[in-house]
Structure 1
Amino acid sequence: MSLMLPSESATARSVVGVAADLFAALRGESAVLPRAESVVLVVIDGLGAISLRAHAGHARALTGGMTKRDVAHSVFPSTTAAALTSIVTGVWPGEHGLIGYRVLDPERDVLVNQLSGWESDGLDPFTWQPVPTIFERAAEHGHRSFAVGIAAYATSGFTRATLRGAEFVAATTPAERVAAAYDLAQRHPGSLVYCYLPEVDKAGHKHGIDSPEWVAALEGVDAALSVRTPPGVGVLVTSDHGMVDVPASRQIVLEEEHLAGIRHVGGEPRMLHLYLAPDAEADAVVARVRADLEGAADVITRDEAIGRGFFGPTVTPVAASRMGDMLAVSRGAWAVYDGTAPDQRGRGMVGQHGALTPEERQVPVIRLGAFAR
């Protein structure tokens, strides 16, 4: 089987290490960042390093001082619930347990949405995601924390699972969010400020990464980050994942006959979690799905994925229990859909992510303010 994690140098950074870098910079003990009076972590959702460089003319503030070293790799799956949680907890998905978009709640044998379904699916943010956040750890060391985002996210289950310990501050536009983050960092020395910008991701999903709408969203974020950084404030700009455009001709739909022996289809179209029926012949189902998706997706078992370190070096029993018995990881610009699902809204997405391509896993890590080289 040819599927493997993309080769990365031994010194390649991971988004999992961002939290530790910021803490060390506040103490003046970081090996990669200079000391800063306060730190701001800006996460531009959905902005891959490859797509950013391809559109450098529309993002001069972000790419002006960007070097080949200013890149990190995201986690697997390369999707928001998994990657954002890794950024703000400093651990891999195999530890924090958010291992996809929709996954199994094994106690109830139902699929749950780990991004937007916390309330409707009955998830407790404090037990479903038990790992302390960067903000909770900051408080233990006497540092005040803030999370600047869109008002609609202020009390969501995902926010309570991943941003707990931070004081939430709502602002409408990217420019207003960045301005609020910089102001908080300046007024509260020693603070840790998180600033979330989802506009690029939303435009990519709806219109694609080469669309005028995506470019406009990138320009808006770049303009927001072009303002002067307050003295002594270190700013680290990164992303949770990139994305690829999936044309309609590369959208594979699994109908009922393809899903025989499978009781649940979770994950997302570029990284499906497939859960076997209790009476299914596992080897036969895996072989059939591999044949059905040959050339479009690689199909591996849960044990193979864990053994190869896809979800990180450590996988807890809880995280493993949420994973599919097999995973379908899309190649190139393919996506795979459950044709039996009543909700087919995902079929309208152009830009997608979740798999292992460099476009999805390589993200920028850009240093501004007191962190600038």
Structure 2
Amino acid sequence: MLPPESSAARSVAGVADDMFAALRGESGVLPRAESVVLVLIDGLGAISLRAHAGHARALTTGMAKKDVAHSVFPSTTAAALTTLLTGVWPGQHGLVGYRVLDPSRGILVNQLTGWEAEGLDPATWQASPTVFERAAAEGRPTFAVGVAAYAGSGFTRATLRGAEFVAAQTPAERVAAAYDLAERHPGSLVYCYLPEADKAGHRYGVDSGHWVAALEEIDAALSRRVPPGVGVLVTSDHGMVDVPAHRQVVLEAEHLEGVALVGGEPRMLHLYLDPDADAEAVSSRLTADLDGLADVGTRRTAIDAGLFGPVVTSAAASRIGDVLVVSRNNHAVYDGTAHDQRNRGMIGQHGGLTPEERQVPLLRFGVFAR
């Protein structure tokens, strides 16, 4: 199991506090701003952005080596986006993966899309205060600009609590709406969500024409003028890697002996064991089976290494797999015994520890620009 970055590395967990400090004029990192806009480009890694700089001139002009941050582990939307919008690590907010165990019921739950169908309460399953609740407590206007389909979802209610949701269709319309809200409401905190690159990457791959077209559309949206007095931070929750078919590693029944449930996602599996299975033994066996393809470790190893953050609550720990399987390079590990194999067709993937997945841009515009 690979170690986390040093505590001195910039992290997406610090973005929330940076925004509040800038609004108060108390930041040692950012200039004071009348209002702040946080733009989240889902799925845009810093390495991929630099590799396609010619298609993203508004984003990359003036981008320095230091204009990056590290995402969390696992490098997946449920975990990382919640960290950005609460300011705490997955070990504290509890969204420790894509599909995880609900220990009270012994079932796997999808923390992006399964809130309603799988009976998760957004207020208790994710109990950490959001940045919007914190801003509202200071009397600040708060807004979240996103896709209309997400307005009432359980994940939205878990991560955007306290914000007034504003729907807009295209990236350009969402950015325009966010900037307008920030200008019309001094002292406000505005969030703007752009999922287009992530969707294109999953379906077609990061080096595809579809992904480049999505990046160009986002870049054009962010080329508009920032209103006076408004500070804009542009970042992402994670990057991704392309997984070709010959890099798909399939675990069959003999590999999964002692495993009751397989959660997570192919780049970072949570394995939940039978009551009588020994985690160290299963970990050792899979380490040999996946030699050179994935890192394997126990829950205790990962927590002790700080992979889920400096604090891991008992609730969060109970959702982490007994054994974790983290794919190396551009491999992905699949449960060959699962009935639903639709994710085998996904090209762009994330969840692991590679720089492509964990290094994200952290760009400054408006009054924040250098």
TM-score (norm 2): 0.99
Number of the residue aligned with 2:224: 227
- Residue 319, structure 1, aligned to residue 284, structure 2: no
Q: Is the 8 A contact 1:239 1:364 kept in 2?
A: yes
Structure 1 distance, partners of 2:103, 2:287, is: 25
Amino acid at match of 1:142: G
Structure 1 distance, partners of 2:348, 2:241, is: 5
1:12, distance to aligned residue in structure 2 (A): 2.5
Number of the residue aligned with 1:22: 19
Residue 348 of structure 2, aligned match among 323, 348, 351? 351
Structure 2 distance, partners of 1:119, 1:219, is: 34
1:29, distance to aligned residue in structure 2 (A): 0.6
1:350, distance to aligned residue in structure 2 (A): 0.6
State the Cα deviation string for residues 92-131 of structure 1 (Å, max 9, x = none): 0000000000000000000000011000110000000000
- Residue 214, structure 1, aligned to residue 202, structure 2: no
Structure 2 distance, partners of 1:283, 1:38, is: 51
Q: Is the 8 A contact 1:5 1:356 kept in 2?
A: no
Structure 2 distance, partners of 1:188, 1:79, is: 32
- Residue 62, structure 1, aligned to residue 59, structure 2: yes
1:5, distance to aligned residue in structure 2 (A): 2.7
Residue 272 of structure 1, aligned match among 266, 269, 273? 269
1:20, distance to aligned residue in structure 2 (A): 0.3
Structure 2 distance, partners of 1:132, 1:55, is: 36
Structure 2 distance, partners of 1:273, 1:282, is: 12
Structure 2 distance, partners of 1:241, 1:337, is: 21
Number of the residue aligned with 2:176: 179
- Residue 142, structure 1, aligned to residue 139, structure 2: yes
Q: Is the 8 A contact 1:264 1:276 kept in 2?
A: yes
Residue 5 of structure 1, aligned match among 3, 11, 14? 3
Amino acid at match of 1:4: L
State the Cα deviation string for residues 141-164 of structure 1 (Å, max 9, x = none): 111100000000000000000000
SS in structure 2 at match of 1:41: strand
SS in structure 1 at match of 2:114: coil
Structure 1 distance, partners of 2:262, 2:26, is: 45
Q: Is the 8 A contact 2:144 2:191 kept in 1?
A: yes
Q: Is the 8 A contact 1:88 1:163 kept in 2?
A: yes
Structure 2 distance, partners of 1:330, 1:52, is: 22
Residue 125 of structure 1, aligned match among 122, 127, 131? 122
Residue 165 of structure 1, aligned match among 162, 166, 171? 162
Amino acid at match of 1:36: A
Residue 37 of structure 1, aligned match among 34, 56, 79? 34
State the Cα deviation string for residues 298-348 of structure 1 (Å, max 9, x = none): 100000000000000000000000010010011000000111112111111
- Residue 198, structure 1, aligned to residue 182, structure 2: no
Residue 331 of structure 2, aligned match among 334, 338, 345? 334
Residue 49 of structure 2, aligned match among 40, 48, 52? 52
Q: Is the 8 A contact 2:63 2:363 kept in 1?
A: yes
- Residue 109, structure 1, aligned to residue 126, structure 2: no
Structure 2 distance, partners of 1:281, 1:44, is: 41
SS in structure 2 at match of 1:234: strand
> Any stretches of 5+ residues in structure 1 without a counterpart?
none
SS in structure 2 at match of 1:336: strand
Number of the residue aligned with 2:243: 246
Deviates more, 1:255-264 or 1:170-179: 255-264
Amino acid at match of 1:139: A
Amino acid at match of 1:241: H
Structure 1 distance, partners of 2:177, 2:5, is: 38
Kindly tell me: are residues 281 and 4 of structure 1, through their superposed partners in 2, closer, same or farther at Cα, counting changes over 3 Å? Answer: closer
1:284, distance to aligned residue in structure 2 (A): 2.7
Q: Is the 8 A contact 2:236 2:360 kept in 1?
A: yes
TM-score (norm 1): 0.98
Counterpart mapping for 1:82-97 below 5 A: 82-97=79-94
Residue 368 of structure 2, aligned match among 332, 350, 371? 371
Amino acid at match of 2:367: A
Q: Is the 8 A contact 1:6 1:358 kept in 2?
A: no
1:7, distance to aligned residue in structure 2 (A): 4.4
Structure 1 distance, partners of 2:57, 2:113, is: 33
- Residue 78, structure 1, aligned to residue 75, structure 2: yes
Q: Is the 8 A contact 1:6 1:357 kept in 2?
A: no
Number of the residue aligned with 1:284: 281
1:292, distance to aligned residue in structure 2 (A): 1.4
Q: Is the 8 A contact 2:82 2:159 kept in 1?
A: yes
SS in structure 1 at match of 2:255: helix
Q: Is the 8 A contact 1:78 1:354 kept in 2?
A: yes
* Aligned structure 1 segments of 4 or more residues deviating by more than 4 angstroms: none
Structure 2 distance, partners of 1:196, 1:344, is: 29
